[in-house]
Amino acid sequence: MILIDVEIYNYSKKRYELFEAIVDTGATFCAISKHIADEMGLPLHGPIHLWQVNGPLTPTKTTLKIRCGKSEHHVEGVIINIARDYLRPAAPDEECERPLTPHPLSSRVIVGKNFLEKLSEEERKEVLSYLVS
């Protein structure tokens, strides 16, 4: 897993917030969870239909203002509504077959292919080099 730092604009507080981001080259868009998007007052642009493993997913589109290094980009993102119980780790005695670790979007965002395409070649190489370091 490649983890990088990005700054995303918080429309509610009118400032940037630092996020740990999972780099996902297989994701078309960036993704952020609904509880964080609500807190940051992200703009809502209506639904979009995406293919997931077992069927379509219909999240809400948004625009993320992302700063990475010295550059800033306006990138399309999707807002994912995660069930509240999945935001915490599974308890040892809990009858649940989900992974023990909490949902990745509970404390992170995903930066997808559309974000990587905005970067310069040099920046993109630097991000992807984290995989082999």
Partner 1 sequence: MGVESRRWINENLHKLREKYPNKTIMVCDGRVVKVFDGATDPIHVNEVAREICQGKDWSYTFVSKVEEEYIL
The one among 40, 57, 82, 90 contacting partner 1 by CB under 8 A: 40
Return the H-helix or E-strand segment holding 123.
helix 121-129
Q: What is the spatial distance between Cα 6 and Cα 112, in angstroms, rounded to a whole number?
A: 12
Question: Binding to partner 1 by residue 116, rule CB under 8 A?
Answer: no
- Chain centroid to CA 131: how far? 18
Smallest gap from Cβ 120 to partner 1, in A, equals 16
Nearest to 24 by CA among 93, 109, 92: 109
Smallest gap from Cβ 35 to partner 1, in A, equals 8
Question: Binding to partner 1 by residue 67, rule CB under 8 A?
Answer: yes
The SS3 assignment for 91 reads coil
Interface pattern 8-27 for partner 1 (x via CB under 8 A): --x------xxxx-x-----
Smallest gap from Cβ 5 to partner 1, in A, equals 5
